[in-house]
Amino acid sequence: MKTLLISVFVGLFFLNSQAQVFNAGVILGISGSQVEGDGYSGYRKLGFIAGGFTNTSLSEKLSAQLEIYFINKGSQRNPNTDKGDTDAFKLNINYIDIPLVLRYHYKSFMFEGGLYGSVFLSYSMSDEFGERDTGRYPFKAYDFGSFIGINYHVNDQLIFNLRSKNSLVPVRDFENFDQQVGILNKLFNRGWYNLDLNFSIRYQFGKTEDNG
């Protein structure tokens, strides 16, 4: 992870030195997430996002952006006691996400894609019987994945972002009976994978020509 961070910062420094343009801003948003492999589907776990970004233009239509922010991920299953369903589950995982974004500008829109690395901070997990721990299968110290998204420039400073992100490596290993097999488990090795949808508002400081 340290090597990844150093490479990203060096890369952005090089791009910035070439383009001679450097912008910065803040990010606030919400996430809806689920975990492939835990047996519960749906983006029902709500969390929040807070952090910042820097970006630089590569050409008239392309730009690169580096972000770093705190994010809640996980999954949630609420019981339906009216129908005798008492099955409950709640998983909250806290990360520092570090996405590296390539953006294509078209009028007021920016279409984006990229990779992210995450540093694991903490977790909590519970079911209808109370608090649970991970036992012999702890969460890994990192997450690594990819994403796609779209941005809308309201004006020079205010940007709306919608993004879909998927882990490419398991964030937790576990026994086969503990999983609901999904496409990532079929394509790669077995385990738990983070899937999250993010909506955020970005405020970019200063007036910039980086508006697509």
Note the pLDDT tens digit of each residue in 153-196: 999 899 999 999 999 989 998 654 344 555 655 565 578 889 99
Architecture per CATH, domain 2-204, reads as Beta Barrel (2.40)
Report which of 109, 112, 15 is spatially closest to residue 59, judged by C-alpha positions. Answer: 15
Q: What are the sequence ranges of the domains in the chain? A: 2-204
Under a CB-based contact definition with an 8 Å cutoff, are residues 137 and 123 in contact? Answer: no
Q: Please state the pTM of the whole predicted model.
A: 0.83
Which helix (H) or strand (E) segment holds residue 14: the answer is helix 2-19
pLDDT digits (tens, 9 = 90+) for 12-43: 555 445 545 788 999 999 999 999 888 788 89
Give per-residue burial for 119-140: e unless 16+ CB within 10 Å, then b. Answer: ebeebebeeeeeeeeeeeeebb
